[in-house]
Amino acid sequence: METDSSFTFVLFGGTGDLSMRKILPALFEAHRAGGMLADSGKIVAVARHAADRGEYIQWVNEHVKPHVSKNGVDETAWSSFLERIEFVKIDLGNPEDFALLRDAVKDLPGIRVFYLATGPSLFVPICRALASVGLNENARIVLEKPLGYDLKSSNAINDAVGEIFAEEQIYRIDHYLGKEPVQNLLALRFGNALFEPLWRREWVESIQITIAEELGVEARGDFYDNTGALRDMVQNHLLQLLSIVAMEPPHSMDSDSVRDEKLRVLRALKPIDPLNIGKVAVRGQYHSGVIRGTAVPAYATEPGVKPNSTTETFVALKVEIENWRWAGVPFFLRTGKRLADRVAEIVVNFRAVPHSALGVSALRAGANRLVIRLQPNETIRLYCLAKQPGEGMNLASVHLDLAFDQFFREGQMEAYQRLLLDVINGRLALFVRRDEQEAAWRWVEPILNEWKASNKPPKPYAAGTWGPAAASAMLAQHGTCWLEEEN
């Protein structure tokens, strides 16, 4: 992927955690690869925690360098990368300071990209300040999640930003859409005649999508306690993954064709009946436990968390899609903190054969399934049944494994690297359109409202387990269980 597109990449929150761990390392990897970033491209960091460029470069060396390149840092590439970086000290609360930014970028080349790696409360003030000095014209704006607290606040941000930037200028980022296995899911479905005929209710029994974390809330207790797992993970990441799994084949891979099909899935989600919510939605909160031999505290004792907090750290949902392809197929979504393993995966469980001519061993061995793992190791694995060696027709589950790091020897592109290159090159397909976001909020909000109105506490689960027992019971009612394998 080579480009000669010149750019000026303005990074708000230039000394923040996201810039340190993801954005600047991703830009460095694109720079190091050669040909991905135009030689004339510049990075302008905006922050108020450094006095000048020299102090900021020192911060980058100390804090960003440890997060780049797993195989060590090419010092020549690192030095030339630092030459791309400029710095502007701005107090984001003072719109008059944006004249300094205007003057700093006026002679820099190419398309202007403004990346808002800040809290959502600053999105609108920054956009208005950019417009006040004319920096919104012919520019692109990248908005990080969370974009609002509910449908009303999300619409308020989108309305305000939409008055300053046109929809085609706005890039709402969801880094899961940039992951290599998600891209390969599209290739698997729409590039092969083998799977697409089976990708429907006649052949699929159920689908699971899991994003599990071993970590707790870390230093984000105050933020997380006002957010919760449903807002933090389900409304965006999980529903985006679901829409890609369930979408119809797009006309092409251009931005609107892909996003139109995802939108149709989100609009076809069966609304949650408040009277039935206990059967299709499980919320939990971790208590103290042990993860990999280390004792970890309960959520309620984490710094920044209210002692009697009822914020959920775990969510499991049964979701149905009311359309011709998926009617009657349950989609089970699950996410949580302090779970037994760090894993993100999609599991497609196919129906069993209608009649087993091979005897009871075929039934015991189970049906076929496809497991698409997003993290920690990125693989696609197809489970089939095969005869065990020896006497008799005894079947066992075996698998065909596509391990990307073994099959493709060249280094894989990280999600943020792909998405940042897409912004610079004007490709919108992997970014969330406003109507998608609204549809997701519209489906999630009744669950939030019902949980708030019921005032029931989340179900407890010990840290280091797979969540409340009720999440497993929900699947047991459908004759299935969560796939919980070792990495």
- Residue 21 located in a structural domain: yes
DSSP 447-470: HHHHHHHH-PPPEEEETTBSS-HH
Q: Are residues 233 and 355 in the same domain?
A: yes
Residue 272: which CATH number? 3.30.360.10
Are 111 and 181 within one domain? no
Q: Looking at the domain assignment, is residue 40 inside a domain?
A: yes
Residues 102 and 182 in one domain: no
With respect to residue 415, please indicate whether it lies within any of the assigned structural domains: no
Report pLDDT for 409: 63
Angle value at C-alpha 267, between 263 and 273, nearest 5 degrees: 150
Region of residue 112 (phi > 0: left; psi between -120 and 50: alpha; otherwise: beta)? beta
CA angle 326, 330, 334 (to 5 degrees): 125
Q: For residue 206, which phi and psi values (nearest 5 degrees)?
A: -165, 165
Question: What local confidence, expressed as pLDDT, does residue 362 receive?
Answer: 53
Final residue belonging to a domain, choices 100, 124, 144: 144
How high is the pLDDT of residue 53?
95
How many helices and strands, by DSSP H and E, does the chain display? 18, 17
d(CA 121, CA 126): 9
Last residue within a domain, chosen from 144, 167, 187: 144
Largest CA distance in the chain: 83
> What is the model's pLDDT at position 1?
45
Q: Give the whole-angstrom CA distance, residue 71 versus residue 249.
A: 38
Same domain, 46 and 182: no
Residue 363, number of CB atoms within 10 A of its CB = 13
Q: In this structure, is residue 452 part of a structural domain? A: yes
How many CB atoms sit inside 10 A of residue 83's CB? 11
Q: What string of H, E and C letters represents the secondary structure of 373-433?
A: EEECCCEEEEEEEEECCCCCCCEEEEEEEEEHHHHCCCCCCCHHHHHHHHHHCCCCCCCEC
In this structure, the answer to whether residues 272 and 390 fall within a common structural domain is: yes
The answer to whether residues 286 and 365 belong to one domain is yes
Number of domains making up the chain: 2
Q: Domain with 13 in it: what CATH number? A: 3.40.50.720
- In whole angstroms, what is the distance from residue 414 CA to residue 25 CA? 10
- Tell whether 156 is covered by a domain: no
- pLDDT at position 399, please? 83
CB 333 within 8 A of CB 317: yes
The two beta strands, 459-462 and 281-287, are parallel
87 forms beta bridges with: 45
Q: What is the DSSP string of 280-307?
A: HEEEEEEESEEETTEEE--GGGSTTS-T
Tokens of 177: 């859409």
Same structural domain, 308 and 447: yes
* Residue at a domain's end among 94, 121, 144: 144
Catalytic residue status for 237: yes
Shared domain for 128 and 207, answered yes or no, is no
Asked if the structure places residue 483 within a domain, the reply is: no
Q: Which two tokens stand for residue 279?
A: 């059967």
Rg (CA), the chain: 24
Q: Are both 89 and 191 inside the same structural domain?
A: no
Dihedral angle, C-alpha 435, 436, 442, 448, nearest 10 °: -140
Residue 444 is part of which domain span? 177-409+433-476
Q: What is the pLDDT of residue 359?
A: 64
258 and 378 in a single domain? The answer is yes
Would residue 167 count as lying in a domain? no
Of 237, 251, 287, 399, catalytic: 237
Residue-level pLDDT, tens digit, the chain, 487 residues = 445 579 999 999 999 999 999 999 999 999 998 889 999 999 999 998 888 999 999 999 999 999 987 667 889 999 999 999 999 999 988 889 999 999 999 999 899 999 999 988 899 999 999 999 999 999 999 998 878 889 999 999 999 999 999 999 999 999 989 988 888 888 888 988 888 899 999 999 999 999 999 999 987 889 899 999 999 999 999 999 999 999 999 998 888 999 999 999 999 999 998 888 989 999 999 999 999 999 999 999 999 999 899 999 999 999 999 999 999 999 999 999 999 999 999 999 999 887 777 766 555 556 889 999 888 888 888 888 888 888 777 787 888 887 766 777 666 788 999 999 999 999 999 999 999 999 999 999 999 999 999 888 999 999 999 999 999 999 999 989 998 864 4
- The pLDDT value recorded for residue 432 is 96
Q: Are 30 and 420 contacting, i.e. CB atoms less than 8 angstroms apart?
A: yes
Q: Do 379 and 317 share a domain, yes or no? A: yes
Do 202 and 271 fall into the same domain?
Answer: yes
> What single-letter amino acid sits at 483?
L
Q: Which residue has the tokens 């899961």?
A: 176
The answer to the question of residue 414 being in a domain is no
* Cα–Cα–Cα angle for 192, 176, 319, rounded to 5 degrees: 80
Q: Which residues contact 242 (CB under 8 A, 6 or more apart)?
A: 209, 265, 319, 331, 333
